[in-house]
Chain A
Amino acid sequence: MFPGVHGFHWEFGHLLFLGIFFTVVLVILGASSLGFAHSIRRLRSERREQFVWEQQFEDLTPDEKACRHAMTGELKGRICPNAFDCNDCSTHASLLEKRSVEKPETVEIAGLRYHPQRRYHRGHTWLEELDDGTVLIGPDEFARRLIGQPDRLVLPKPGDRLVANGVAWTVHKSGADVRVLAPVTGEVLESGEGQEWYLRVRPDSPIGEAKHLLSGSEIGPWIRHELERLQRQASLSEVGSALADGGELVDTVSQAFDKRRWDHVCSSYFLQP
């Protein structure tokens, strides 16, 4: 190939052929290197965890991505385009203005109790602010009844860092590993095993700014939406409002599904693609 080889000399055919070949090789290597370099840059950037969450969000089903305003009926059939990050959403801002001031009250649906002073994350965790600025985090009623008695619970240790929409703790039940998402970014101060709350966390930024958490009159529609989804997944026919006549969600839900479906159900409600 190269002039060092005995008897070789360049012709136009060689230039053309080798020219094309090396161009192609460069394009392939270039594209791969570019992809690799971009990856490294993105991994090193501060928005890394946010990006990972956005990618995970992409792969959820449309049902799981329903906009909070679609569930309350303010909009019809909207799917969240921002990975549940309502902070920069103009639609959310404009709809908030239209809402009337509400009186906070406890919500109870199908035996599930939701407290007004708590804020809720779409991954079924609640968050309660304490006077000293720290927050308590725990699984909400839906999550409790869904999982029932966990086979194993793995909580983070004090000193560990939580990232919003990253993994907070892991629950094992009936062969499914459920990685529950954290509602805020912060440092774990205490883990409350055996109590209603699981973690006490010092958040990085004040909770008031966390617009992505649900509260107040949004809770009811949201839980109804989740219960309907669960009902649909468990039965052949679409019995949408069978809960209207008032029953309680049992805590042996895992027995209604075989191992395959149970795994899917858990991932579905805890927002794992």
Chain B
Amino acid sequence: MSSNNTASSDSAKPNGGAVARYGMAIDLDRCHGCGACMLACSVENNIPPLPDADDRKGITWIRVYKADNREAFPKAQTVFVPVLCQHCGEHTPCVHVCPQQAVDVDPKTGIVGQMPERCLGCRYCMAACPYHARYFNWWDPVWPKGMEKTLNPAVSPRMRGVVEKCNLCHGRLQAARAKAASEGRREIQAEEYRPACVDACPTGALVFGDLNDKTSKVAQMAAGKNAFRLLESLGTDPKIYYVSKRPWVRRLAENRLPGRKEETIG
């Protein structure tokens, strides 16, 4: 795995397409909260069943939140927002704070990778992440008898006491690269690498690709006028874009007290 441990390396710069910036565009007008993405993610990434977990201790690398516009009937509207690791670019909060350098930003792909083997479990990165995208293994991973047959051999399970998070199904990226190499190619094709959640989404709300590739659908969606990113004012430069035609949904980008007037701040 070609990863550079320097914490100061930012997201890869466009370089004639040789360097990718993998990201997502999520169409919030299409997401209806089925949760197929969450399920597919758990299966792909060997998330243990964790029977004693509640919603605060469970592991959900991608998690669908529900928000509404706080209006009464008939104006009441709901939106479902899948939140995963935003793979921040500039000033990645978790990379800067890990005392063991167990997180790094891959300059070739822009993916923020977590090394559970090096993680001490201090949970400082979890405090740093504003998107709550990081999850701690509060329990030992235990699969009931027979269920171990469902484990994905391409992904190693994590031990108790370490932090984990979405890595844009890095195992699939490796598989795509291996396939390309076996066919004598140096570049992978766009459709050869897609995370499990994107594959599973029945409405096509999740769109994945290389943001540096201006012709890709994800780049076009991200550049559109209805696109926004969560908590942009924090300056994290995330690679996950959200798209919605509804203005109240776009206002969810910033954390404001409900009822506070929209005002320009900062």
Contacts and interface: CB of A to CB of B under 8 A. Distances in A.
A6 B6 CA distance: 11
Interface string B30-46: 00000000000000000
A8 B100 CA distance: 13
A262 to B, nearest CB: 56
Contacts of B4: 7
B156 interface: no
A245 B4 CA distance: 95
Contacts of A5: 5
Interface in B125-165: none
Contacts of B69: none
Contacts of B220: none
Contacts of A6: 5
B3 interface: yes
A11 B3 CA distance: 17
A260 interface: no
A11 B6 CA distance: 9
Interface in A1-22: 5-9, 11
A7 B3 CA distance: 7
Contacts of B6: 7, 9, 11
Q: Contact size class for A?
A: under 10
A8 B104 CA distance: 12
A8 B4 CA distance: 8
Contacts of A8: 5
A9 B7 CA distance: 11
A42 to B, nearest CB: 43
Nearest to A8: B5
Contacts of B3: 7
A8 B5 CA distance: 6
A6 B5 CA distance: 8
Nearest to A9: B6
B7 to A, nearest CB: 9
A6 B8 CA distance: 16
A5 B115 CA distance: 15
Contacts of B8: 11
A27 to B, nearest CB: 23
A72 B154 CA distance: 95
A8 to B, nearest CB: 6
A168 to B, nearest CB: 60
A210 to B, nearest CB: 66
Interface in A168-221: none
Interface string B1-18: 001111010000000000
10 contacts: A5-B5, A6-B5, A7-B3, A7-B4, A7-B5, A7-B6, A8-B5, A9-B6, A11-B6, A11-B8
Interface of B: 3-6, 8
Given A7-B4, A8-B5, 8 more contacts: A5-B5, A6-B5, A7-B3, A7-B5, A7-B6, A9-B6, A11-B6, A11-B8
Interface of A: 5-9, 11
The 8 closest A-B pairs by CB, nearest first: A7-B5, A7-B4, A8-B5, A7-B3, A9-B6, A11-B6, A11-B8, A6-B5
